Copies of this chain bind each other. A is one copy, B any other.
Amino acid sequence: MLIHAVHTAALRAPTENFQPVGKEQRRSPETGASLSSFLANAEIFAQGEPAGRIYRLESGVVRICRLLSDGRRQISAFHFPGDVFGLEADEEHRFSAEAVTPVRVASFRIANVVPLHGTSDGLAGTLWRIALRSLSEAQEHLLLLGRQNALERLASFMVQMAKRQESLRTVDLPMSRADIADYLGLTLETVSRMLAQLKQHGLIRLRSARHVELLNLAALEEMSL
């Protein structure tokens, strides 16, 4: 597991007084591995920047965004600790990655990696699984954006978050309503209204705006089809 090797190597760097002040970075020149941290809403990489690194999220939450020239935004994915992101088909990033919360990421050059000298247990296999998983999730997301209504989208989202957090009872939402809206292809007002509707149907309870109890996971899953 080379990813993990790089990651732990990066973690060996002194990180005691590790504060998310803007962007701090330590890099080991030989592996190209580095550990960085970012403030909330900081850009980890930008649309148009040269690609060539992949990132493993150590802590915090990240959103992957695509912007239209007039400001419309689509979030293609949220990432949680342990997730790997930053794979690109081209030389340039076609998406930006931004910190939703304060974030620590380990990153390393992918050029070292593409020459897939791998058994399926090795780095190559790991990357392969990550790529296929991302593809599968993107395709699932297509169905949601293309064919589900607003309420179904919210139900899907809550179920997804619950599964990511392994907490099937209670979910916290580290991202704003605007982020959720841009992920689900809705407006933030509609997100708020649909949450209210789920609440009214007795499917969820809003402990606070960012902390939700799932009262009927089965019904939510049913809605999300």
Binding site for B on A (CB under 8 A): 66, 68-70, 72-74, 76, 87-90, 94-95, 114-120, 124-125, 128-129, 131-136, 138-143, 145-147, 182, 184-185, 225
Contact = CB atoms under 8 A, between A and B. Distances in A.
Contact of A74 (B66, B90, B94, B147): B147
B185 A146 contact: yes
B128 A116 contact: yes
A73 B143 CA distance: 8
A114 B121 CA distance: 10
Given A114-B120, A118-B118, A146-B184, 17 more contacts: A70-B225, A73-B147, A74-B142, A76-B139, A87-B135, A94-B139, A115-B118, A116-B119, A116-B124, A117-B118, A118-B124, A124-B124, A128-B128, A134-B135, A138-B139, A145-B185, A147-B185
A124 B118 CA distance: 9
A135 B138 contact: yes
Determine how many copies of this chain the complex contains: 2
Nearest to A115: B120
Given A147-B73, A225-B69, A125 B114 contact: yes
